Structure 1
Amino acid sequence: MEPLPVLFISHGSPMLAISDSPARRFLESLGRSLPRPTSILVISAHWESDGAPAVSLAQQPATIHDFRGFPPELFAIDYPAPGAPELAGHAAQLLEQAGYAVKRSADRGLDHGAWVPLRLMYLQADIPVAQLSLVRGAGPAEHERLGSALSALRQEGVLVVGSGSLTHNLNEFRGQGVDAPVPSWVSDFSDWMHARLQAQQRDALLDYRRAAPDGERNHPTEEHLLPLFVAMGAAGAAARAERIHASYEYGVLAMDVYAFA
């Protein structure tokens, strides 16, 4: 079996699920362009666990509407994909072999970092899905190491998806439209990340908060970029990054999607 790429997807606002945009249209085509996975493991910015990573063993994960202030139409969406408890257990074993003390949740559902992009990619909701948490307070290097422990999965037909956002400072959102002008502090950061990923400049990437232009301004907290480092690790040291989509939404959200293969 040809190994699947590992993806980093910028999932943007929950409105991506119901509003037209270049990023939405790209994700609607992305699933059709990939070999069909046997199952999907999502590492989302919206699940952090204290002290150690956690996996969800849910047989039928609920659709979590972990947001507020959005139209009722969003809260009515259900993504009834089956769970993947065997995949979750296998991921936990790989992490334990790498020295992690893994937590297990019997019933945690899919947060919007998982179901929003997956619903666009695989509308039929017929591919089993499991989630793996970030580790609260751990940085890029530790999340890359966590991903490295999972590198065997892409050889097993599993699609590993890191779901976050290439830029994510919602404090700078002022109610602007989806097609608002992009300030230079956002585009300069996106361009810097792209150049470093293409050049495989791992040390600079791991030190992005200091080395990148406006690193901390684009990520006042790190959880939305950390899935990128999990994806880097899960793809393996020899993998190269390809930016397969780039656009912006609301001026402050870079919607880049990367495939590592």
Structure 2
Amino acid sequence: MNRLPTLFVSHGAPTYALEPGLAGAQLAAFAARLPRPRAILVVSPHWMTVRPRVATTARPETIHDFGGFPAPLYELQYPAPGHPEFAQRAIDLLNAAGWPAQADPQRGLDHGAWVPLRHLYPQADVPVFQVSLPASLTPESALAYGAALAPLAEEGVLIVGSGSLTHNLYEFRMGQTEVLAYAREFEGWIRDAVVAGDRGRLAAALDEAPHARRAHPTTEHFLPLPVAFGAAQPPLPATVLRGEILYGALSMESYAFGDVPHADTASQACNGASR
């Protein structure tokens, strides 16, 4: 199998599970163009740990780690199997790269994993396992964390960083259709950095991008983006998977790093440039 691309997805609010919109359609079209992965590895901000942990669960449960949403969301299940062998491979790779990692035989799939996976692989027939997000990560070290996992993409594993391109919960307004200007400006700056393959800009994004601290008052939903970028091996094309900006400030844009067969979305070669 040729190397699979890596993927950053904006997983949105839990309601995204039932309301795919443009972003969900983009994910479905992306998955349809890929060779079938042997497994999927997901890094999500909803599993943060002091040191890296890797889910070795054979049958991960669906975790409904949210409150105050419509009842049908709590009935949804994503019964994909785990993949203990690839999970152990991830542990070995992290340890070899200086990230002491441990197995977690109980961990299920949080909504940062199963919500976007409902649109990528709705049949839940591809094995899935999660790798935790260390709480001490910075954008720079998140690039290295992703790079440690990169060999898995050569082995048929789809590496997914699941977060949110913008994530200011204080400014979300359910039903609001007018987009706040800062969210659009931040989204555009990140898109330009990603399409240029500019590792340095991405590492410095939370300091240099316009309105960065407003877009991300906390960093955990941004960090899966540099993880996914770091897991790719430049020079690679970056494909923009467009999504709406919902609730005034929640960008649903996603990115794929690597060759996407028969892609009909405009892409531009990453040149691996740094500042």
- Structure 2 distance, partners of 1:31, 1:196, is 24
Distance 1:237 1:29, change over 3 A: closer
1:259 and 2:256 are equivalent in the alignment? yes
Alignment of 1:93-242 (within 5 A): 93-177=92-176, 180-242=177-239
- Structure 1 distance, partners of 2:63, 2:20, is 22
C-alpha deviation, 1:133, in angstroms? 0.8
- Structure 2 distance, partners of 1:28, 1:242, is 14
Match in the other structure for 1:14 = 14
Give the residue type in structure 1 aligned to 2:194: L
Unaligned stretches of 5+ in structure 1? none
Distance 1:175 1:247, change over 3 A: closer
Q: Residue 173 of structure 2: SS of its match in structure 1?
A: coil
C-alpha deviation, 1:123, in angstroms? 1.3
Q: Residue 44 of structure 1: SS of its match in structure 2?
A: strand
1:99-148: CA deviation from partner (whole Å, max 9, x where unpaired)? 11102211100000100111111111111101001110320111110110
Alignment of 1:66-77 (within 5 A): 66-77=65-76
C-alpha deviation, 1:197, in angstroms? 1.3
Q: Residue 88 of structure 1: SS of its match in structure 2?
A: helix
Match in the other structure for 2:242 = 245
Q: Residue 149 of structure 1: SS of its match in structure 2?
A: helix
- Structure 1 distance, partners of 2:230, 2:134, is 15
- Structure 1 distance, partners of 2:164, 2:20, is 18
Q: Is the 8 A contact 2:171 2:248 kept in 1?
A: no
Report the more deviating stretch, 76-85 or 27-36. Answer: 27-36
Unaligned stretches of 5+ in structure 2? 259-275
Match in the other structure for 1:39 = 39
C-alpha deviation, 1:20, in angstroms? 4.5
1:216-249: CA deviation from partner (whole Å, max 9, x where unpaired)? 1000111111011111111124333221223211
TM-score, length of structure 2 as denominator length: 0.91
TM-score, length of structure 1 as denominator length: 0.95
Q: Residue 94 of structure 2: SS of its match in structure 1?
A: helix
Give the residue type in structure 2 aligned to 1:238: P
C-alpha deviation, 1:155, in angstroms? 0.9
Give the residue type in structure 2 aligned to 1:240: P
Give the residue type in structure 1 aligned to 2:211: D
Give the residue type in structure 1 aligned to 2:32: R
Give the residue type in structure 2 aligned to 1:32: A
- Structure 1 distance, partners of 2:19, 2:196, is 34
